Structure 1
Amino acid sequence: MSSTKIPRGAEEGARETRQRHLEAVESTDWGTQLAAYLESHRASLVDALRRLFVQPFGSFLTCLVMGIALALPMGLALLLENVERLGGSWQRAAQISVFLELTVPEAEGLALRERIAALESVQGAEWIGPEQALAQLQGYSGLGDALQALPENPLPAVVLVTPQAIEREALEGLRAELAALPGVEQAQLDLQWIERLGAILRLGERFIFGLAVVLVAGLLLVIGNTIRLHIENRRAEIEVIKLVGGTDGYVRRPFLYAGAFYGVGAGLLAWGLLHFGLDWLNEAVVGLAGLYGSDFALAGVPLEDALLLLAAAVLLGWIGAWLAVARHLRQLAPR
């Protein structure tokens, strides 16, 4: 009885060929699974969009309610920023007035200003000479003739210091440091005004934050109730899908896309409401500012904030839909 011996080279070639075949089969299976996964997402996306357009008026009202809930806190935040810009920035309100001694020459005063500006805790330092200070006092006080009758200028040079930090402890420390410099007569800081301004702004920020939390909670309830109605309308269909082996992810997917689409619509509506609302209000603000000789105008919605608003709306719609489906998913088992 004879046997045929397979050459070593042929055996290795057959092994390599079979390995390449198995890799090709695995690659084909992976590609098929990926294509099926993407097709499932595409079908869920198209189905969610189609169901929204079946009831356009109801979908629009849902997006409008969500858009108003998003536009209110952001609109108030933009108004607070404009009010802060109108009243001056924190740093400008926290300026420290450094009065120099009358005997300090201008050259030494300018050198002192450079020294102050080089400090790490200082954002900027502005030099105001005695003549400039006298001219400003004449313009603000209305006592121009009386001040001109003085034999000499009684006002010292001043360095207006804008600090980096706005906390009380940091400002007190910087004021003490400036007052100890040679040639400085007095360093003055109106802490009471700073504290009042800070309290007003903190109150506004806290109010806006609380309003945003309440409105976001209401928005999640709105989207959750809307998705719950979609689930109830498709209960029989979902039970059949789960009966034939449909997974929870497959059931959940179209509702998540629906929530995201609601978020897109709400974000665009909120963007539009803010844009047109600020433009409408800006007409009255410009008119009022013109009566006071000011060119102040409300700033619009920055593009970065608008895109962030749209992304937040989509995320909230997605989260609201996910919570609604997660709550009812255990009730969707076939009976």
Structure 2
Amino acid sequence: MSATRMPPPQPAQRVGAAPKKEDLPTTDPQAGPDFRSQLAAWVESHRASLLDGLRRLFKQPIGSFFTCLVMAVALSLPMGLSLLLDNIQRLGVSWQSAAQISLYMQIDASDRQGEELRAQIAKMPDVAEAQWISREQALAEFQQQSGLGEALKELPSNPLPGVVVVTPKEVDKDALEALRGRLAELPKVQQAQLDLLWVERLSAMLKLGDRFVFGLALLLISALLLVIGNTIRLHIENRRIEIEVIKLVGGTDSYVRRPFLYMGTLYGLGAGLLAWGLLAYGLNWLNDAVVRLSGLYGSDFGLAGVPLPDALSLVCGAVLLGYIGAWLAVARHLRELAPR
């Protein structure tokens, strides 16, 4: 009986071993990693850098808070002054009412003629509003405001003329002069009066305030960049050995720079939110005194809060400043971080 030939024993496959070469998918050796792998690696790197920045900020909560607070104070100063200037423009009288043109009618002008003239002026393209004040209304207002009511009653007749008060659409010196000249030539108009000196003073004060705020903003932005740069520089010095090792094993400059850029962005975000809160609280605290003061003058004026677009611009600007400050600091010290 002949022995049955048995097949040679097959080698056992180790658990967890890599598949045989013939089982691996064939790929082009010249082709690099696909786009999906690159995108996943890029997202993972940014996520790790963001988490690392958050961990290091929360590791020193007091120092991080005071850094954000210093930045918030520097950010809130120019923004607060700008909001106060906007509120000053609304105080009392507006730009248009500050530049009203008063047309004093002739004494013999009737109320009907005054109303017709008012309607004619209101249709002009560069006029926002026209109001007719009759002689009786003018006398009543003068008696009430001057306190000479009993003395004026002794006059044989009303000496005050009717007035058409014209509010222009735009406040411009040359345009106002031209409008006043045209209105002075209308029938039954005896005199057209415009207080240009008050308009010029108000415009000069507001322009001075705008320039002051702009200059202060430039100075404080420079100071913020220095604060961010110095803070990031300290973090770089604390991680110098780690960074040298990363560069020694082939880490790129962008990989080294990324965590610090996220730290600067987080500092800016915290400072922007704190500045928003400081402005909202400060204006609300100041508004109580302003309301009491305006109430003594019979006005309901109050400070407006921080508009949402301005608040979002403040936060975005703070984030951008934090990013720029961190980038400048890392770019300056990156060439010094080569492995020794």
Aligned runs of 1:104-123 on 2, under 5 Å?
104-123=109-128
SS of aligned partner of 1:178: helix
The corresponding residue for 1:203 is: 208
Change (3 A) 1:28 1:247: closer
Query: Gapped runs of 5+ residues in structure 1?
Result: 1-20
Contact 2:268 2:319 in 1 (8 A): yes
- In the TM superposition, residue 67 of structure 1 has moved relative to its aligned partner by 0.3
The answer to whether 1:277 aligns with 2:300 is no
| Aligned-residue offset at 1:60 | 0.5
Query: Which residue is 1:163 aligned to?
Result: 168
**Residue among 293, 307, 313 paired with 2:312:** 307
SS in structure 2 at match of 1:300 = coil
Matches within 5 A, 1:39-78: 39-78=44-83
Larger radius of gyration: 2
Structure 2 match to 1:148: 153
Quick one: which amino acid aligns to residue 208 of structure 2?
Answer: L
Q: Distance in 1 between matches of 2:294 and 2:133?
A: 28
**Distance in 2 separating the partners of 1:28 and 1:246:** 18
Shift of 1:286: 2.7
CA shift for structure 1 position 54 = 0.9
Q: Secondary structure at the match of 2:266?
A: helix
Counterpart amino acid of residue 230 in structure 2: N
Q: 1:104 to 1:292 in 2, by over 3 A?
A: closer
Q: Flag structure 2 segments of 5+ consecutive residues without an equivalent.
A: 1-25
> How far, CA to CA, are the matches of 1:45 and 1:81 in structure 2?
38
* Of 206, 211, 218, the match for 1:213: 218
Q: Deviations over 1:246-271 (max 9, x none)?
A: 22222222111111111111111111
* Cross-structure match for 1:192: 197
The one-letter amino acid of 2:315's match is L
Alignment of 1:85-96 (within 5 A): 85-96=90-101
SS of residue paired to 1:330: helix
Letter in 1 for 2:339: P
CA distance in 2 between partners of 1:180 and 1:253 (Å): 71
2:183 to 175, 178, 183: 178
What do residues 69-123 of structure 1 show as CA deviations (whole Å, max 9, x unaligned)?
0111112222233333224222211111122233333333323223322223222
Amino acid of the structure 2 residue aligned with 1:61: F
Distance 1:68 1:132 in 2: 52
Query: 1:234-273 alignment to 2 at 5 Å?
Result: 234-273=239-278
1:128-179 residue CA offsets vs partner (Å, 9 max, x unmatched): 2222222211111112123233333332222212222222222211211211
Partner-residue secondary structure (3-state), 2:129 = strand
SS at match of 2:91: helix
Distance 2:121 2:47 in 1: 63
Report the equivalent of 1:98.
103
- Structure 2 vs 1, CA of residues 113 and 42 (structure 1 numbering), >3 Å: closer, same or farther? same
Greater Cα shift, 107-116 or 249-258: 107-116
Partner AA of 2:201 in structure 1: R
Contact 2:92 2:301 in 1 (8 A): no
Aligned partner of 1:129 in structure 2 is 134
Distance 1:149 1:28 in 2: 102
Q: Which has the higher helix share?
A: 1
1: CA distance, partners of 2:38 / 2:109:
83
Q: Note closer, same or farther for the CA distance 1:40–1:122 as it changes in structure 2 (3 Å cut).
A: same
Structure 1 range deviating more: 94-103 or 288-297: 288-297
Q: Secondary structure at the match of 2:336?
A: coil
| SS across alignment from 1:301 | coil
Q: Give the count of matched residue pairs.
A: 312
Task: Give the drift of 1:28.
Answer: 8.2
Give the counterpart letter for 1:329 in structure 2.
Answer: L
